[in-house]
Amino acid sequence: MRLLIAMMKHETNTFSPVPTPLARFGHGPGPLYGEAAINAYRGTGSGLGAYLDLAERKGAEVLLPIAAGASPSRPVEDAAYEHIAGIICDAVAKGGFDGILLDLHGAMVTESFEDGEGELLRRIRALDPTTPIAVAYDMHANLYPAMIENATVVAGYRTYPHIDTYDTAHRAGEILLASLRGAVRPVMAWGNVPMLPHVMRQGSDDHPNRELQARVAAMSTEGALAASLFTGFPHADIANAGLSAVVVTDGDQALAERLRDELLDRAWGEREAFLYRLEPLEQSLARAKALDPPQPGEGPIVLLDHYDNCASGGTMDTTAVLAAILRAGLDNVAAFAIYDPAAVQQAIAAGIGSEIALAIGGKMAMPQIPGESRPVTVTGTVNTISSGRFRNKGPMGRGVLTDMGPSVVIDTGKVEIALISRHVEPSDLNCFYALGIDPMQKRFLMLKSRIHWRAGLGNVAKSVVECAGMGVCTSDYSQLSFKNVRRPIYPLDLPNR
Ligand SMILES: [Zn+2]
């Protein structure tokens, strides 16, 4: 058996100013290819890790031409997309594969295409109309017809934080392998409803997504080979942004459609529970200050800077929350992180132990949202200088190499501020330990994150205070000027379906 395996992943925030060239993909300057990609992902808890395990179990010969994943940012540059899609399509064109296993995101927008994944699948199908294709998608996928119609089987994550990337690809791959030996004949039904669930309300540990995903999982006992409910990615001004569902059954189209409709109806019925209530920043910090400090054995209080999550396209350099923390005089704080490669180099030049004053953050303009983020000047000691590389402790992406780029920690006496040179969301405890910060010894942790921080820190945090700051993954959707999303859509227009 010969299998073609590839990864192309990007969640596109069309409001983000952060560029997406080819160099943003991968763990260094660009994607990984061939053996290097296999070596990077084999044995990891990633989608590619699952596909490689399945291939090994089958004794299959594997071609993995490219593994390209980038942290979320603005639409992918055409040259980058053509390079990645081109390498996958060149491999497809060579032919001789029994199956194609793709680890995609599902919310990739390029300079030319609203639907990067659908365009890739359309090109693959034009070259090869018959080889079965399995696709794993992120729960934030914004589905388009071409993403389903040009695949044989599709499966989506059921957890947010995404701790089931491996399980999802494994599920998609197993169904594909079963179809190759004639054990099943997958058919799919998909659809969407006009709603944009708020990202802060999408966590699968919270109502209503907890119950919705439980229902998705239960459908496996009612004839679904794979059922998926995609909460979608709303910071994408594209026609099909929003919630959707796909159900795969064994040859029973009517059943697939019935289960799909049930998922969409249930989600629509919960639309108000997906709304998010904002609190003014100063009020949040006053509330945090009044909380009892952690007792021995208790973890830190998380101050969540959720408007500027780099894993949703944030610049990770806005300073509203950090500046307010400094103004409020909070003590024993660690902040992860401000993206500022220039400030990192200044701190490295100053050297370990030196006292410096640095203007950090606020360097990237955000023309698509109101307001302006200014640098904040901090004075402190250069505590840590690091290569910024670590392997994830998990549960998210266990074993996968994460690269923060050259990184430093500036200690103001009250606040330890991590400065990094590549965008990394704090979803893994090792992002702190790699920089010499023990998060368990801190009273407060400022995290630029929305939901994924819970993967590594959710079960150790004493409590969380959500802080409305500034950034292109703003939680105030009235700051986003939608022009292309289909209308009417909930909650922008409060329509009846
Ligand atoms: Zn996601």
Ligand 1 centre and the CA of 199: distance in Å?
Answer: 10
pLDDT in tens, 21-42: 999 998 667 899 999 999 999 9
Beta strands in 282-375 (DSSP E): 301-305, 333-339, 355-360
Cα dihedral across residues 169, 172, 178, 179: positive or negative = negative
Ligand 1 centre and the CA of 455: distance in Å?
Answer: 13
- Tokens 């004493």: give the residue: 462
Cα separation, 338 vs 433, whole angstroms? 17
Contact 300, 445 (CB under 8 A): yes
Contact 196, 489 (CB under 8 A): yes
Ligand 1 centre and the CA of 314: distance in Å?
Answer: 14
Ligand 1 centre and the CA of 300: distance in Å?
Answer: 25
pTM of the model: 0.94
Ligand 1 centre and the CA of 409: distance in Å?
Answer: 28
Ligand 1 centre and the CA of 395: distance in Å?
Answer: 15
Using a 10 angstrom Cβ sphere, with 0-12 exposed, 13-18 middle and 19 or more buried, the burial of residue 434 is: buried
Residues with Cβ within 8 Å of residue 76, at least 6 apart in sequence: 10, 12, 20, 70, 108, 109, 110, 111, 116
pLDDT of residue 312: 93
Ligand 1 centre and the CA of 115: distance in Å?
Answer: 16
Q: CA angle, corner 457, sides to 453 and 460, nearest 5?
A: 150
pLDDT in tens, 348-398: 999 999 999 999 999 999 999 998 999 999 999 999 999 999 999 989 888
Structure tokens given for 11: 């969640």
Amino acid at 361: G
Ligand 1 centre and the CA of 375: distance in Å?
Answer: 29
Q: If you write DSSP's letter for every residue of 252-264 in order, what string do you get?
A: -HHHHHHHHHHHH
What angle, 0 to 180 degrees and rounded to 10, lies between the N-to-C axes of helices 253-269 and 209-218? 170
As a whole number, mean pLDDT of residues 104-126 equals 98
Counting residues of the chain whose pLDDT is more than 70, the rounded percentage is: 99
pLDDT in tens, 248-300: 999 999 999 999 999 999 999 999 999 999 999 999 999 999 999 999 989 99
Kindly report the average pLDDT of the chain as a whole number: 96
Ligand 1 centre and the CA of 381: distance in Å?
Answer: 36
Cα separation, 48 vs 431, whole angstroms? 23
- Tokens 């390079």: give the residue: 83
pLDDT of residue 30: 82
Ligand 1 centre and the CA of 412: distance in Å?
Answer: 34
DSSP 8-state secondary structure symbol assigned to residue 454: I
Using a 10 angstrom Cβ sphere, with 0-12 exposed, 13-18 middle and 19 or more buried, the burial of residue 389 is: middle
Ligand 1 centre and the CA of 152: distance in Å?
Answer: 22
pLDDT of residue 496: 56
pLDDT of residue 27: 66
pLDDT in tens, 184-199: 999 999 999 999 999 9
Ligand 1 centre and the CA of 357: distance in Å?
Answer: 37
pLDDT of residue 494: 76
* DSSP-based three-state secondary structure for 408: strand
As a whole number, mean pLDDT of residues 421-437 equals 96
As a whole number, mean pLDDT of residues 396-411 equals 93
- Tokens 């596909």: give the residue: 51
DSSP 8-state secondary structure symbol assigned to residue 292: P
DSSP 8-state secondary structure symbol assigned to residue 121: H
* DSSP-based three-state secondary structure for 463: strand
